[in-house]
Every structure is written in structure tokens, then in C-alpha cells.
Amino acid sequence: MDKLLEVDLEELGKEYPIFLSIKSRLDSLKQKLGEWEDPEDGARRMAVYFISPKVGRKPGDGGFLTHVLESGDCRFWQFDVEKLKNHPDLIAQKGQSGYIGSASSNMYVEFDHLLG
């Protein structure tokens, strides 16, 4: 995203209007993420932004997530935005995928690793 923001998308948009749409979306995302210090900080902010619609409202920061196993056992994680933002593996890759991702319009988060 840092590299793309360096491109003069307005100038490209004069000939190819699609770039104006891309610029508008990038500007909106940048406004939502806030300023970042470096690409890693930006990636961390994007990862938290990605899962926030799902866990931000329910359970919310400080609330608990529960996973109930078929055996009836339960696993609880306290959702802590700051702990998540600062986790060393938040944007780490695990094989082909990371600890947060999406596939076929499904979101997955390995809470046990990131919040456990």
C-alpha cells in the first residue's frame, strides 16, 4: 500500500478513470487505518481492521470469545485489541496462510495462537 500511495493515481486517472476509483478507496482505507510508521505497522493496522467488524461489536474489546467443542468442553479468549495489535505473529505467515485470513468469503482467525 505504501508503494501504491506513492503513485500519482490522479494523473493516471485522467486517461484511465479506474485509477480515480482506486485512489478514492485507498484514501478511504488510509483514513480508517490512520497514519502508520512503516509497512509492518500498516499491515498490523489492516489485520486488526479486517477482523474488527466481526469481533469489534461482539464480543467487543475486553469481551470474551467462546469455542464449544463437541465434547462440551469450552475454550475462552478475552478479546484485547492492544494485545492483538502487538502480537508478534499477527502478520506472520504460517505455511501458505497466516493466523488471520480469508478464503471463499470466509474469515478465519487462530484465536488460540493470537489471544491464547
pLDDT of residue 15: 94
Distance CA 24, CA 110 (A): 32
Under a CB-based contact definition with an 8 Å cutoff, are residues 91 and 44 in contact?
Answer: yes
pLDDT of residue 1: 79
What's the DSSP call for residue 105?
T
pLDDT of residue 20: 94
- Where are the chain's structural domains? 1-35, 36-116
Q: What single letter denotes the amino acid at residue 109?
A: V
pLDDT of residue 12: 93
- Residue by residue, pLDDT tens for the chain (116 residues) are 788 888 999 999 999 999 999 999 999 988 988 888 888 888 888 888 888 877 777 888 888 888 888 898 998 888 888 888 888 888 876 555 677 877 777 777 787 777 77
